[in-house]
Every structure is written in structure tokens, then in C-alpha cells.
Structure 1
Amino acid sequence: MPRIELKTEIKANKNIVFDLSRSIDLHKISTEHTNEQAIAGKTNGLIGMNESVTWRAKHFGIYQNLTSKITEFNKPNYFADEMVKGAFKEFKHEHHFAELNEGTLMTDFFIYKSPFGILGKIADKLFLKKYMTQLLTERNRIVKDFAESDKWKEILA
């Protein structure tokens, strides 16, 4: 199974970074380019333990729905969301937060399994892992931008 690991240093309080990372509203901002919308479950605010959200977004020219659920939660250190229904065979996205030099180290582990057997594995190598890494990197860039400025107050007010 492919595994993506991203580390992002953020000059902001760990509690703020944690809450921004689980904000439905900030996720919408970070995925504007895919027209991503929360269409069911928790559709705004902060998602928490055992809550789910269904996203509708356009990827590779096709609109797709994906439902994920928060399956592990330890505020403000860690949470994980897992796909319940969607285009992947499965995925788990772990979000880790640690204090670092008057700021926060945010570490993501995204582990997934593509559908379609060998064709899915070929897609992973050709484009899917790179595509997913870019989506997660952009999401983290937005979290960092909001956390390091006063913009976080717009989301967490």
C-alpha cells in the first residue's frame, strides 16, 4: 500500500493547528480547485470522534463522492480519519501534532489502497501518489498560512 508522509513546521500554537486541521470549512478552502463540497454528515465546523463527512469533488475530470469518519481522536496530539465509502479501496489519514520550537510540527501519514488490482498499482506509480501528495501539501500550506496569521480566527471564531 502506498504511504505518503509529510512534515510541516508551523509557527503557531498546537491547539490552533489541531483545530484548523479538523475544520470542514478550512478543508473547503484548501480544495477550491476541485470544487470540493461537504454534502452529508458534518458539513461545517470542527469534525470530531465518530463523526463523518461526505465530500463531493471533481478529480481527473469526474465528480466523485467520498465519505470519511474520524476513528481515533486525542486532542490536541492526534486524530485519524478513514474512508467509509469512496473511490479508494481503503485509506487512513493520520494527523500528528507535536510542540516544536515555540510552534508545532504537523506530521501526516496517508496510507491508501487503490482499487482495480494491478491497474490501481500502475496508476499509483504513474500519477496517483503524486496527485495525492500535491493535494495534501496544498492542504498543509493552507493550514500553515491560516495558523501563522490572524486568518485562523475567521475559521475558529
Structure 2
Amino acid sequence: MEVVSVVNAAPGTVFDLELDVDVHAASLAGSRETATTAAGRRRLGLGDEVTFRARHLGVWWRMTSRITAYDRPRRFVDEQTRGPFRSMRHEHCFENLGDGRTRMTDRMTVRAPLGALGAVVTRIVLTPYLKRLLKKRSVHIAHLAEAAHSRIRAKE
């Protein structure tokens, strides 16, 4: 699945917000999401792991992901190392559109356990649900990034 948004802020600002675990948790506050890093840092870097705990679809979930690729401010990838999915890979891309604007693209691939049944559940339930979460998160990131961008422009 893919979610694309245009944010009125520089790629570095958007990139940094996407790697901030406090911002992540706040973007999904409705699910009572928490994020704990192995390193204790708020902003993740290459090799860092983060464990998320949240209530989704009426069930408490726990998932640990690692940052497996990092190219600031263009791209990073996080992949599940432990959790509910057979596999999960989330690629975050940031394209500089000029004039302080960024195209943010989230690409996520998920494979559920349970073979054919898991594939059906993924297509019918998980993919639409995760796409809504990615859209909600992108709106939150855009709001924070654009507010920061406005403050910077006001100082100039």
C-alpha cells in the first residue's frame, strides 16, 4: 500500500518528525500508542529499535521494528523484528519539491501469518485499516512540520 502527501515544509523537517517516537505516539493517540526505544533516544537512527504497544481493532498489539536504511533527508526504512505480522516493511520517502515543500511517500508491505487465511484478512481488513492509520499519521506530521516551517519563516 502507498500513501502520498505534500507537506509545506522542508524535507529535513518532515524526515526528523517521522523518526521522532513521541510524535509517532501522539499521531496515534486514539489507540493509546506508546513507543519505547532500545537506545532511550527520542529520534531514531540507523540500527535503532523501537517497540510499539497500542490497541488496534479491539486488541492490544506489541511490535518491535528496526531502522534498516537511513539516508537523511531522503529516505528511511523500518522493518518488524518481532510482532504480529509474518513480515512488515515500511519505506518512508521524502522528495524536495522546491519552495519549502516535500512530497512524503509511505510504502508499507505487510504479510500476515496463517497462509491463505492471513492473506485474505490482510487484503480485506489489515490493508484498509493500516492505510487509514498512515493517512492519519501523515496529516499529523504535516500539521507539525508546517507549523515549524511557519515559525521559521516568521523569524526571517
Asked if these proteins are the same fold (TM beyond 0.5), I'd say yes
User: Aligned pair 1:63/2:60, yes or no?
Assistant: yes
**Distance change >3 Å, CA 137–CA 42, structure 1 → 2:** farther
Return the match for 1:49 from 43, 46, 51. 46
Cα deviation for residue 125 of structure 1 reads 2.4
Report the secondary structure of 1:150's partner residue.
Answer: helix
Report the secondary structure of 1:69's partner residue.
Answer: strand
**Distance change >3 Å, CA 43–CA 64, structure 1 → 2:** farther
The answer to whether the 8 A contact 1:24-1:43 is kept is no
- Write the distance in 2 (CA, Å) between the matches of 1:44 and 1:57: 20
Q: CA RMSD in A?
A: 1.7
Return the match for 2:135 from 129, 137, 155. 137
Report the secondary structure of 1:144's partner residue.
Answer: helix
- Residue 72 of structure 2 is matched in structure 1 by 75
Normalising by structure 2, what TM-score? Answer: 0.90
The answer to whether the 8 A contact 1:20-1:152 is kept is no
Select between 143-152 and 45-54 the one with higher mean Cα deviation. 143-152
Normalising by structure 1, what TM-score? Answer: 0.90
Report the secondary structure of 1:45's partner residue.
Answer: coil
- Residue 119 of structure 2 is matched in structure 1 by 121
The answer to whether the 8 A contact 2:37-2:48 is kept is no
Q: Counterpart amino acid of 1:60?
A: L
The answer to whether the 8 A contact 2:55-2:61 is kept is yes
- Residue 32 of structure 1 is matched in structure 2 by 29
Correspondence list, 1:80-95, <5 A: 80-95=77-92
**Distance change >3 Å, CA 22–CA 152, structure 1 → 2:** farther
Unaligned runs of 5+ in 2: 152-156
Q: Counterpart amino acid of 2:3?
A: L
- Write the distance in 2 (CA, Å) between the matches of 1:44 and 1:144: 22
Unaligned runs of 5+ in 1: none
- Aligned-residue sequence identity (percent) comes to 32
- Write the distance in 2 (CA, Å) between the matches of 1:134 and 1:95: 16
Q: Counterpart amino acid of 2:43?
A: L
